[in-house]
Amino acid sequence: MSNERKVSHLTRMSMHGWFDILVRAICIGLVFGLIALVGQISYVRTAATYTAEMGEYERTQALNWFARNRGFMVTLFAGFVGFGAIGLLLIRFVSPVIASDVQRQVKMRKMAGIAQNVGATVVALIMIFPLYWMIISSFKHTDELLAPTPTLWPETWVFDTYPNVLKRAPFGRYFYNTIYTTFFQVVFQLGIGVMAAYGFSKGEFKGKNVLFIVVLGALMVPLQVTFVPIYVLISKLGWMNSFPGLIIPHLVSAYFIFMLRQNFMSVDNSYLEAGMLDGMGRIQSIVYVLCPMCKPTLITVSIITFINGWNSYFWPKMITTSDFRRTIAVGINHIRQTFAGLEVQNYNEIMAAAVLAIMPIVALFLILQKYIMTGLSKASMK
């Protein structure tokens, strides 16, 4: 009878939604514990070879990675195992008590809802705090920013930071360059991405899957790896400090193609066949059938492309050497060089410049955030 009861308890616990997560947490914790044990054994063996002449630095350098990180591994072991064990105990003893009473279930749901709201609020505050700090710092005096004790509210409001920033650097030129390059990047990535995604999702040709794997491989290659040959090519073409040099290396996005392909595959072929029966060609089917049905994803990837282009720093920094073609991200960094010296660097004006730079993308995100969430969820369905 006791064995059957144990089996029933274990079966009930395994049906709980958190059971697998808690068991995996314990397993991960045991792995960290094993690493900590290996580190402790290694530390004991290495410590036996220490001499009185060895300093602290020399002793630390004599340790291997496992021995140096054994304390951190112990912390991870305790955290994961403790989390899993406490969760399993709650499932075993607390969950049946709550399930046996409807009123307790209602109270538990209310408490869970309150906990979710509190957790979401805390996470939101943590995410918003850097933005708040940047904005509030743009109204502080430099001495207050450099004070040892930071203040969450300006002791003295300074309102001339924004006019000073606009005088120190040609922000109008920076905004124009950024808008121009970002616009063409979005247009070309949208057009090429739609055509490529249609071919990979609805087309039938040899090597389609192999070519798509090649496209996915491009996602794993960062710009920092390929910028040297691209930089040499752009330089030989004479495109330094020019719009073609800023735009052409970013005409195609592997991420854009991947997202659209996933969404296009969720559209049934019968819609395209119905359009072709009405006399539509391939381009018309894409424009009038696929694109309207995948509108949230198109808007989402366009916004992401716009934000990436607007915030781009590494590539524009490489090929622009004058204000004539600098973008907004590079221009903010260049503002530091407009001050007379380190003693008079106005960090409040640098913060003001950053606020001016992010205003367009923040406004764009607030207006179109529902499309971003819808597009990402639909793209992950297939």
Q: Are 68 and 57 spatial neighbours (Cβ–Cβ below 8 Å)?
A: no
Q: Which of 184-198, 294-308, 328-342, 361-375 has the lowest mean pLDDT?
A: 328-342
More confident residue, 168 or 344: 168
The answer to whether residue 155 is domain-embedded is no
Please state, in angstroms and rounded to a whole number, the distance separating the CA atoms of residues 100 and 366. 45
Identify the CA nearest to 151 among candidates 135, 130, 134, 137: 137
Confidence of residue 376 (pLDDT cuts 50, 70, 90): low
Say whether pLDDT at 220 is over 90.
no
Q: Is the residue at 82 inside a domain? A: yes
* Residue 30 confidence class, pLDDT cut points 50, 70, 90: very high
Q: What is the CATH number of the domain that holds 200?
A: 1.10.3720.10
Of the ranges 23-27, 267-271, 321-325, 331-335, which is most confident? 23-27
Give pLDDT, residue 345: 64
112 inside domain = no
Are 75 and 167 contained in the same domain? Answer: no
As a whole number of angstroms, the distance between CA 340 and CA 166 comes to 17
Section 225-244 average pLDDT: 88
> Tokens representing 14?
């395994």
pLDDT of 2 above 50: no
Both tokens of 366, joined, read 């607030």
State yes or no: pLDDT of 159 exceeds 80. yes
Tokens 């992401």 correspond to 304
pTM above 0.75, yes or no: no
Dist. CA 122–CA 125, nearest whole Å? 5
**Mean pLDDT estimate for the chain:** 83
Q: What is the pLDDT of residue 343?
A: 44
Check residue 1 and give its pLDDT: 44
- Does some domain include residue 125? no
pLDDT class of 374 with cuts at 50, 70, 90 = low
Query: CB burial class (10 A; 0-12, 13-18, 19+) of residue 306?
Result: buried
Q: For the segment 118-140, what is each residue's pLDDT rounded down to a tens digit?
A: 988 999 899 889 889 888 988 88
Q: Which residue has the tokens 């752009």?
A: 234
Task: Say whether both 184 and 71 belong to one domain.
Answer: no
DSSP 293-329: HTHHHHHHHHHHHHHHHHH--HHHHHH--STTT--HH
- What residues have CB less than 8 Å from 36, skipping those under 6 apart? 70, 73, 74, 77
Q: Which amino acid is at 135?
A: I
Lowest mean pLDDT: which of 6-20, 71-85, 147-161, 201-215? 6-20
Expressed as residue numbers, the domain containing 180 is: 161-379
Count structural domains, the chain. Answer: 2
Last residue of a domain, one of 54, 80, 100: 100
The answer to whether residues 122 and 63 touch, using CB atoms and an 8 Å cutoff, is: no
**Are 57 and 165 within one domain?**
no
* Same-domain status, 94 and 217: no
Are 213 and 310 in a shared domain? yes
